[in-house]
Structure 1
Amino acid sequence: MPSDATPDPYADPLRFGQRVQILRERRGMTRAQLADFIGVSLHTLRKIENGQQLAPGLEMVMRIAEALRVRDLAELTGHPEMHVDLFIGPGHPRLGAVKAAVDSFSPCSSVEPSPVAHLKARLHAAWKSRHSAPNHREVVGKLLPGLIRDAQALVRTADTARDRSAAQGLLAETYSLAQFFVAYQPDSALLWRIAERGMVAAQDSGDPHAIGVAAWLLAQAHRDSGPRHFDAADAINVEAVRFLDPLLPDAEDDLLAIAGALEFELGYTAARRRDTGTAWRHWDKANDMAKRLPSDYYHPVTSFSRAIMGAHAVTVAVELHQGGESVRQAAQADKSVIKSRPRRARHRIEEARGYQLDGQPDVAVATLQKAFEAAPETIRYNGYARRIILEETETKETNRRRRASELAVGIGLLSA
C-alpha cells in the first residue's frame, strides 16, 4: 500500500475519533460540515477526533454514522462484532437474478421480443404492483429479469428508427423500475450501471418524459453517494429542468409531474447542504407545479402529486434538522393520502426522523411501526429507519425498548 494512502479503519486499533476523521475525509467533508450535521460545536468535534474526549454514546455514534453514510457500524466503532449494515441493505434474494439480467450481453440472442403493446402492459402492471404490494421488492424482483430481457430484445430487433426509439423508451422505463429495486442493495456498481444505461436509453428514445425520469434517478444516485457528489446531482437536475421548461406550458400531466419532481430534487439536495432558503424556494416551485395537476393524479414512477408535497415538506425540514418544523409539516401532510405503499412507508420514516429530532422518540417508534405495516420491504432497507430502531433498542425506557426490539426483529436487525 502506498505510504500516502488513506488508512483502513480495520487495519489498526485506532481511537474512535481517528476513525471519525478518516471516514469524514473520505467523504470529502470538512470538520465544520460534520459538526453542523451532527449538532455539536466545532470545538467538541475536534476533541472527539483528537481523542481528547471519550467515544460518545450510541445516540451520537448513530448520528455520526448517518452523517458519514457509514454502511457498517463496525467501520466506525472498530469493533467487528458490531457488524450492522446501516445504509445498504443485506441484499434481496432476487438481487442475483436481476443482476444477471442487467449484465447479460447477447448480441445474437434468439429471444423473440414481445410486441410493444404487450411490453407496455407488463410494465404498467409492474409499476402498479410496486405501488400496491407491501412486499414490493419481491414482486418487482420476480418480474424484472423477464422485462429486462424482452426490452433489450425489442431494441435489438427494431426495424425502423421509429420502432427503435419506442423500444429505447421502454428499455429506459425498465431500467427505472430496476433502479428502485436495486436502491439500498449491497451492489453500488450495479446501481450505477442501471442509472447510466437508463439515461442512455432515454436519450436514444428522444422522449422528454423518459429523459426526465432517467435524469431524476441519475441525480438521486449522485446525491446519495455523499456531499462530494451534490454538485453533480444539481447539474443533472438543472439541465433536465432547463430541457423540459419550454415544453411545460402545454404539457400533459406526466411531463409536468416529472418536471415538478426534478424541481423538488433540487430542493432536497439544497436541504442536504443545509441551504434553507434554496431548499424551500425549490419546494415552492414544485408545489406550484403540483397544483396544476388533477387532485387524484400521481406520477407512476416518482409518485409526484398534490398529496406528496406535504411529505416532501417533511423531508426538507428533516434534512435541515428542523425538528419542530418537521413535526408541524407532518401534521399537515397526514391530511393527504399517499396512494403508493412504499412511498407512504418512506414518508412515515421521514416523519419518524422528525419526531426523533424533536425529542419525541416514543412517537418516532410508533411511526416506524406504521411504516412497517405499510411496506415492510421499504423500512427493511432504509438506513435512517434502521438507525432509529437500533438506537431505541438500547434505551432505558422499558416500553419503548420493547417496541423497538420487536420492530428490529421484524425487519431483520435482531434475531427473534
Structure 2
Amino acid sequence: MSSDATPDPYAEPMVFGQRMQILRTRRGMSRTVLAGLLGKSPSWVKQVEGGRLQMPKLPMVLRIAEALRVRDLADLTGDQSASIGLFEGPGHARLPQVRAAIDAFPLTTRRAAPSSVHLRERLTRAWSARHSASHHRDVIGALLPALIQDAQLAVLQADSASDRRVAQGLLSEAYGLSQFFLAYQPDASLLWRVVERAMISAQESEDPHAIGTAAWLATQAHRDSGHAHFDAADAVNLETLRYLEALLPDASDDVLAITGALHFEAGYTAARRGETGTAWRYWDRARAMAERLPTDYFHPVTSFSRAVMGAHAVTVAVELHAGAESVRQASAADAVTIPSRPRRARHRIEEARGYQLDGQAEAALATLDRAYRTAPETIRYNGYARRIILEEAESKNPAQRRRASELAVKVGVLAA
C-alpha cells in the first residue's frame, strides 16, 4: 500500500476523532460542510478530529453518524458492543431469492415467456400491493423473483424490435421495483447492479417514461451514497430533465409526473447541500407540474401527485435544518390523502425529524409511533427514524426515555 493511501479506520485501534476524520474524508466532505450539518463550527470539528475534544455524548454522535451516512454505529465509535445498524437495515428473509433472480441471466429458452400484457398486469398489481401493504418488503419480495425472471425471458424471446423495446421497459420497471426492496439492506453492490440495469433497459426501451423513472431511481441511489455523490445525482437528474422538457407539450400524465418527480429530486439534493433558494425553486417547479395532473392521479413508482407535494415541502424544510418551517409545513400537509402506506409512513418520519429539529421530542416520538402503525417495515429500515429513537432513548425525561425504548424494541434497534 502506498504511503499516501487512506488508512483503514478498523485496522488499528483508533480514537473517535480519527475515525470521524477518516469517514468524513471517504465521503468527500469538508470540515465546513460537516460542521454546517451538525450546527457546529469547523474549528469544533477540527478539535474533535484532532483529539483535543473528547468524543461527544450520544445525541451528537448519532448526528455525526447521520451526516456521514455511517451504516453501523460501531464504525464510528470503535466500540463493537455498540454495533447498531443506522442507514443499513436488517437483511430481509427473501433477500437470497431476490438476489438469485437478479444474478441469473437466461441464455436459453427452456419455457415460453409470458406476454407483455400479462407482465404489465403483474407489475401493476405488484405496485398496488406495495402501496397497500404494511409489510411491503414481504409482499414484493415474494413477487420479485418470478417477475424478474419472466421479464428477462421476455427480452430474450422478443420476436421484433418493437416487442423487444416493450419488454425492455417492463424489465426496467421490474428492476425498479427491486430497488425499493433492496434499499437499506446489507448488499450495496446488488442495489447498484439493479440501478444500472434498470437504466440500461430503460434506454433500450426508448420509452420516455421508463427512462425518467430509471433516472429518478438512479438519482436517489447516488444521493443516498453520500455528499461525494451529489454531483452524480444531479448529472443523471438534470440530463434527464433536459431530455423530457422537449416532450412536455404533448406529454402523457405519466411523463408529466416523472418530470415533476425529477424536479423535486433536484430540489431534494439542493436541500441536502444547504442551497435554500435552489431547493425551493425546484419544489415550485414540481408543484407546477403536479397541478397539471388530474386531482386523483398517483404515480405508482414515485408517488408523485398533488397529494404528495405537502410531504415534499416537509422534506425540503427538514433537509435545510429549518425546524420551525418543517413544523409549519407538516401542519399544512395531509398524510391521510397519500394513497400509499409506505409513503405515508415515510412522510411521518420526515415530520418527526422536523419536530425534533424544533425541540419537540415528544411530538417526534408520537409521530414515529404513527409511522410504525402505518408501515412497520418503512421505519425499521429508515436511518433517520432509528437515529431519533436511539437519541431519545437517552433522554433525561423518564416518559420520553420509556416511549423511545419501547419504540426501539418494536423497530428492532434494541433487543427486548
**TM-score, with structure 2 as normaliser:** 0.98
**For residues 224-250 of structure 1, what are the alpha-carbon distances to aligned partners after superposition, in whole Å with 9 as ceiling and x for unaligned?**
111111111101111111111111122
Give 1:5 shift: 2.6
Give the partner amino acid of 2:290.
Answer: A
> Aligned residues, how many?
416
Give 1:292 shift: 0.9
Counterpart for residue 98 of structure 1:
98
SS in structure 2 of the partner of residue 348 of structure 1:
helix
Residue 233 of structure 2 corresponds to residue 233 of structure 1:
yes
Counterpart for residue 368 of structure 1:
368
Give 1:408 shift: 1.0
Q: What is the rounded CA distance, in whole Å, between the counterparts of 2:11 and 2:309 in structure 1? A: 46
Give the partner amino acid of 1:249.
Answer: P
Residues 165 and 359 of structure 1: CA distance in aligned 2, closer, same or farther (over 3 Å): same
Give 1:3 shift: 3.1
Residue 405 of structure 2 corresponds to residue 411 of structure 1:
no
Q: What is the rounded CA distance, in whole Å, between the counterparts of 1:171 and 1:11 in structure 2? A: 42
Query: 50-59 vs 328-337, which deviates more?
Result: 328-337
Q: What is the rounded CA distance, in whole Å, between the counterparts of 1:109 and 1:40 in structure 2? A: 60
Give 1:335 shift: 6.9
Q: What is the rounded CA distance, in whole Å, between the counterparts of 1:194 and 1:178 in structure 2? A: 7
Counterpart for residue 210 of structure 2:
210
Give 1:133 shift: 0.2
Residue 340 of structure 2 corresponds to residue 340 of structure 1:
yes
Q: What is the rounded CA distance, in whole Å, between the counterparts of 1:335 and 1:256 in structure 2? A: 22
Give 1:4 shift: 2.6
Counterpart for residue 379 of structure 2:
379
Q: What is the rounded CA distance, in whole Å, between the counterparts of 2:326 and 2:230 in structure 1? A: 23
Q: Where do residues 152-167 of structure 1 align in structure 2 (5 Å cutoff)?
A: 152-167=152-167
* Unpaired runs of at least 5, structure 1: none
Give 1:390 shift: 1.1
Give the partner amino acid of 1:283.
Answer: W
Q: What is the rounded CA distance, in whole Å, between the counterparts of 2:93 and 2:3 in structure 1? A: 40
Give 1:179 shift: 0.7
Contact residue 38 and residue 67 of structure 2 kept, 8 A: yes
Q: What is the rounded CA distance, in whole Å, between the counterparts of 1:215 and 1:111 in structure 2? A: 32
Counterpart for residue 67 of structure 2:
67
Counterpart for residue 168 of structure 1:
168
RMSD: 1.0
Q: What is the rounded CA distance, in whole Å, between the counterparts of 1:346 and 1:118 in structure 2? A: 31
Counterpart for residue 28 of structure 2:
28
Contact residue 335 and residue 344 of structure 2 kept, 8 A: no
Give 1:9 shift: 2.0
Counterpart for residue 286 of structure 2:
286
Q: What is the rounded CA distance, in whole Å, between the counterparts of 1:346 and 1:95 in structure 2? A: 22
Give 1:106 shift: 2.3
Q: What is the rounded CA distance, in whole Å, between the counterparts of 2:155 and 2:375 in structure 1? A: 34
Q: Where do residues 9-24 of structure 1 align in structure 2 (5 Å cutoff)?
A: 9-24=9-24
Contact residue 307 and residue 336 of structure 1 kept, 8 A: no
**For residues 43-84 of structure 1, what are the alpha-carbon distances to aligned partners after superposition, in whole Å with 9 as ceiling and x for unaligned?**
211211111111111110000000000011001001111100
Contact residue 335 and residue 347 of structure 2 kept, 8 A: no
**TM-score, with structure 1 as normaliser:** 0.98
**For residues 131-179 of structure 1, what are the alpha-carbon distances to aligned partners after superposition, in whole Å with 9 as ceiling and x for unaligned?**
0000000000000000000000000000111111111111111111011
Q: What is the rounded CA distance, in whole Å, between the counterparts of 1:356 and 1:2 in structure 2? A: 44
Contact residue 254 and residue 299 of structure 1 kept, 8 A: yes
Q: What is the rounded CA distance, in whole Å, between the counterparts of 1:112 and 1:169 in structure 2? A: 19
Q: What is the rounded CA distance, in whole Å, between the counterparts of 1:412 and 1:242 in structure 2? A: 43
Contact residue 16 and residue 55 of structure 1 kept, 8 A: yes
Give 1:336 shift: 6.0
Give 1:334 shift: 2.4
Give 1:397 shift: 1.2
**For residues 347-389 of structure 1, what are the alpha-carbon distances to aligned partners after superposition, in whole Å with 9 as ceiling and x for unaligned?**
0001111111111111101100011011001000001001111
Q: Where do residues 312-323 of structure 1 align in structure 2 (5 Å cutoff)?
A: 312-323=312-323
Counterpart for residue 43 of structure 1:
43
Counterpart for residue 138 of structure 1:
138
Give the partner amino acid of 2:204.
Answer: D
Give the partner amino acid of 1:386.
Answer: R
**For residues 7-65 of structure 1, what are the alpha-carbon distances to aligned partners after superposition, in whole Å with 9 as ceiling and x for unaligned?**
22222222211111111111111111100011101221121111111111111000000
Q: What is the rounded CA distance, in whole Å, between the counterparts of 1:278 and 1:6 in structure 2? A: 34
Give 1:398 shift: 1.2
Contact residue 195 and residue 217 of structure 1 kept, 8 A: yes
SS in structure 2 of the partner of residue 108 of structure 1:
coil
Counterpart for residue 193 of structure 1:
193
Give 1:6 shift: 1.9
Contact residue 165 and residue 205 of structure 1 kept, 8 A: yes
Give the partner amino acid of 1:176.
Answer: G
Residues 35 and 306 of structure 1: CA distance in aligned 2, closer, same or farther (over 3 Å): same
Give 1:293 shift: 1.0
Counterpart for residue 119 of structure 1:
119
SS in structure 1 of the partner of residue 184 of structure 2:
coil
Counterpart for residue 148 of structure 1:
148
Residue 263 of structure 2 corresponds to residue 263 of structure 1:
yes
Residues 12 and 335 of structure 1: CA distance in aligned 2, closer, same or farther (over 3 Å): closer
Counterpart for residue 80 of structure 2:
80
* Unpaired runs of at least 5, structure 2: none
**For residues 292-330 of structure 1, what are the alpha-carbon distances to aligned partners after superposition, in whole Å with 9 as ceiling and x for unaligned?**
111111101000001111100000011110111011000
Counterpart for residue 249 of structure 2:
249
Contact residue 379 and residue 411 of structure 2 kept, 8 A: yes
Q: What is the rounded CA distance, in whole Å, between the counterparts of 1:197 and 1:43 in structure 2? A: 43
Contact residue 352 and residue 367 of structure 1 kept, 8 A: yes
Counterpart for residue 296 of structure 1:
296
Residue 305 of structure 2 corresponds to residue 305 of structure 1:
yes
Give the partner amino acid of 1:171.
Answer: L
Residue 231 of structure 2 corresponds to residue 219 of structure 1:
no
Contact residue 151 and residue 174 of structure 1 kept, 8 A: yes
Residues 310 and 260 of structure 1: CA distance in aligned 2, closer, same or farther (over 3 Å): same
Give the partner amino acid of 1:135.
Answer: H
Query: 329-338 vs 205-214, which deviates more?
Result: 329-338
Q: What is the rounded CA distance, in whole Å, between the counterparts of 2:135 and 2:310 in structure 1? A: 25
